[in-house]
């Protein structure tokens, strides 16, 4: 059985006070309502992580994630966050390669490869994001584009390392737009990601890797997306800022 993972990406939203309030709502609802086989992750802004970790410590299946880490261990990298710093707040996961970071911070596949390796070496679980633009999809190149992202950031890993990575397929055209990939589009891409991983790392490894869908996932569309055989969870932006919606998504399996 693959791990079911529902991760919320708060992006650059909420003051510390607002974040703590949202996290305590989520934790209280999760205590009563979250199935024990669902792993929930709150990827908060960096300054919220320590305070939110104290709250999530109350529920075994709720965890904290960073939204990014540096590929450097430490040093003169003003504004960046190291893997050790994230770990010291209680974070256990880290988003790597979100399309907003790729676009606005020009993160490259090679840089992301280094971040994935560092995260794994430190014991953080990478939530590795991939996904194509609308232009790439309309040109029919979406599968080859995403496969190249995997090749250039993950194929240097050993099978043992790869098993620890969670993948999030996030078509850029569906992020924050209200447009969701159809269940067929999501399943097609998740299946081809799993096939690519199987050909590189072996079928047994590929079968164990959780592949999340991200892009305007909401309580209304989550059940049909999560029912797809290769969709193991969700990376949720907007709807993770509403405790009721986020918990309802996690209850949609």
Is 10 marked within a binding site? yes
Q: Does residue 217 interact with ligand PEP by CB under 6 A?
A: yes
Q: Does residue 170 interact with ligand PEP by CB under 6 A?
A: yes
**Are residues 52 and 44 in contact, defined by beta-carbon separation less than 8 angstroms?**
yes
Is 237 marked within a binding site? yes
Where does this chain touch ligand PEP (CB under 6 A) — which range of 77-85, 117-125, 230-238, 245-253? Answer: 230-238
3-state helix, strand, coil in the chain (%, to 5): 50, 15, 35
Structure tokens at 22: 């949202």
Q: Does residue 221 interact with ligand PEP by CB under 6 A?
A: no
| Smallest distance, ligand PEP to C-beta of residue 21, A | 20
Distance between CA atoms of 95 and 115, rounded to whole angstroms? 10
| Member of 19, 97, 233, 238 binding ligand PEP (CB under 6 A) | 238
| Member of 123, 176, 220, 223 binding ligand PEP (CB under 6 A) | 176
Where does this chain touch ligand PEP (CB under 6 A) — which range of 32-40, 108-116, 168-176, 181-189? Answer: 168-176
| Smallest distance, ligand PEP to C-beta of residue 16, A | 20
Q: Does residue 222 interact with ligand PEP by CB under 6 A?
A: no
Q: List active site positions.
A: 98, 170
| Member of 19, 65, 215, 233 binding ligand PEP (CB under 6 A) | 215
Q: Does residue 250 interact with ligand PEP by CB under 6 A?
A: no
Q: Does residue 94 interact with ligand PEP by CB under 6 A?
A: no
Q: Does residue 71 interact with ligand PEP by CB under 6 A?
A: no
Number of helices (H), then strands (E), in the chain: 12, 8
Using Cβ positions, the residue closest to ligand PEP within the complex turns out to be 237
Q: Does residue 127 interact with ligand PEP by CB under 6 A?
A: no
Of the candidates 98, 208, 194, which has an alpha carbon nearest to the alpha carbon of residue 164? 208
Those residues whose C-beta lies under 8 Å from the C-beta of residue 192, and which sit 6 or more positions away, are 143, 146, 147
Where does this chain touch ligand PEP (CB under 6 A) — which range of 32-40, 149-157, 198-206, 211-219? Answer: 211-219
| Smallest distance, ligand PEP to C-beta of residue 180, A | 8
Distance between CA atoms of 95 and 76, rounded to whole angstroms? 22
How many residues bind to ligand PEP according to rule CB under 6 A?
13
Alpha helices, DSSP H only, in 15-108? Answer: 16-33, 49-56, 83-88, 99-104
Structure tokens at 56: 């999530």
Is 176 marked within a binding site? yes
Distance between CA atoms of 98 and 161, rounded to whole angstroms? 20
Alpha helices, DSSP H only, in the chain? Answer: 16-33, 49-56, 83-88, 99-104, 109-122, 134-138, 142-154, 159-162, 183-201, 203-208, 222-226, 243-250
| Binding-site entries for substrate | 9-11, 176, 216, 237-238
Binding site for ligand PEP (CB under 6 A): 9, 170, 175-176, 214-217, 235-239
């Amino acid at each position: 059985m693959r791990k079911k993972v529902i991760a919320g990406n708060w992006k650059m939203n909420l003051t510390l006070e607002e974040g703590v309030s949202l996290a305590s709502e989520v934790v209280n609802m999760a205590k009563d309502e979250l199935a024990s086989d669902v792993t929930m992750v709150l990827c908060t802004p960096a300054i919220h992580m320590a305070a939110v970790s104290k709250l999530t410590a109350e529920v075994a299946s709720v965890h904290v994630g960073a939204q990014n880490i540096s590929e450097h261990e430490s040093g003169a990298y003003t504004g960046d966050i190291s893997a050790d710093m994230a770990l010291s707040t209680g974070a256990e996961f880290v988003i790597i390669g979100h399309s907003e970071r790729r676009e606005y911070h020009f993160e490259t596949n090679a840089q992301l490869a280094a971040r994935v390796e560092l995260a794994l070496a430190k014991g953080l679980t990478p939530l590795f994001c991939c996904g194509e633009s609308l232009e790439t999809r309309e040109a029919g190149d979406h599968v080859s584009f995403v496969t190249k992202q995997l090749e250039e950031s993950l194929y240097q890993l050993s099978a043992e390392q790869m098993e620890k990575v969670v993948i999030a397929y996030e078509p850029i055209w569906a992020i924050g737009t209200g447009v969701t990939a159809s269940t067929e589009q999501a399943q097609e891409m998740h299946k081809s990601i799993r096939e690519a991983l199987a050909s590189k790392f072996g079928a047994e490894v590929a079968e164990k890797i959780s592949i999340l869908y991200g892009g305007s996932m909401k309580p209304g569309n989550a059940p049909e997306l999560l029912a797809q055989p290769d969709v193991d969870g969700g990376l949720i932006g907007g709807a993770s800022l509403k405790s009721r919606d986020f918990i309802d998504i996690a209850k949609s399996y």
